[in-house]
Structure 1
Amino acid sequence: MSDIQKIDDLITRAKVFYLATVDGDKPKVRPLGFHLLYEDKIYFGVGTFKEVYKQMQANPNVEIAAWDEEHFLRYYGVANLEKNDAVVEKAFELMPDIKQMYEDNGWEMGVFYLDKATAEIRNIMAVEETYTFEY
């Protein structure tokens, strides 16, 4: 199993994970549920009309946090907000209700992956594994 697959598997086991951004000088954290391992990158998706997307445009330094009831993940780096229609289509295949909602409202799904990233798999006391990813 590759390093990025280990991280994706932990996020999958966690089911809900959290994205932290910066809004001006204040942290903002929200739960997310969608992630997709595609071409050796973990992609996440949020609406381009949402404040979270605007926050990442203004300051792309973000962190993902997850807990799978055994390990805690800190996955942080620079959000690469690339336009990737293939990833958006795969996301909508996995979430047809979300696709319908976006189509009905004329919304656009924005996808991103973390570049210049570090992933730490931790127990309650220490870092057990560390991985870096640069694309």
Structure 2
Amino acid sequence: MERVEKFLKEAGTYYLATVEGDQPRVRPFGTAHIIDGKLYIQTGKSKDVSKQIHKNPKVEVCAFKDGQWLRVAGELVSDDRREIKQAMLDAYPSLQNMYSADDDNTEVLYFKNAVATFSSFTDAPETIKFS
């Protein structure tokens, strides 16, 4: 899981795919942080992406850097604990202009039943599972 977090952070931007009805939706994200042994991301509850995740928690992210890409497929689970929100905001201080651990909008979610696959054009894929 640490390798996955490191890759996502070094890539800077990754793309999160959700489903809205029968339509895939993809958008850029930038948060990835391990807290209490779980890989978390952050968004706002008012955003469509949050509504899509709550309707169907199965998502996939994809990031690319240095000729290698990472896909992480799994389910996202919301964690509404204040200390988890604050830990994410501490890891990403630029978010503190838009979010607060005490607002009703900040949402942190962790991956459950995740499968991460590292791929490139030259090497065989490598898969890592974490719950």
Both proteins in one fold, TM over 0.5: yes
Cα distance between partner residues in 1 of 2:7 and 2:93: 24
Corresponding residue for 1:90? 87
Is residue 48 from structure 1 mapped to residue 45 from structure 2 by the alignment? Answer: yes
Is residue 115 from structure 1 mapped to residue 112 from structure 2 by the alignment? Answer: yes
Matched to 1:43, the amino acid is Y
Q: Structure 2 vs 1, CA of residues 25 and 70 (structure 1 numbering), >3 Å: closer, same or farther?
A: same
Matched to 1:87, the amino acid is I
Corresponding residue for 1:68? 65
* Higher fraction of helix: 1
Task: Report SS of the residue matched to 2:66.
Answer: coil
Cα distance between partner residues in 1 of 2:95 and 2:104: 10
Q: Structure 2 vs 1, CA of residues 126 and 25 (structure 1 numbering), >3 Å: closer, same or farther?
A: farther
1:97 to partner: Cα distance: 4.1
Percent of aligned positions that are identical: 29
Structure 2 unmatched ranges of 5 or more: none
Is residue 79 from structure 1 mapped to residue 73 from structure 2 by the alignment? Answer: no
Within the candidate set 13, 24, 28, 1:27 is matched to 24
Structure 1 unmatched ranges of 5 or more: none
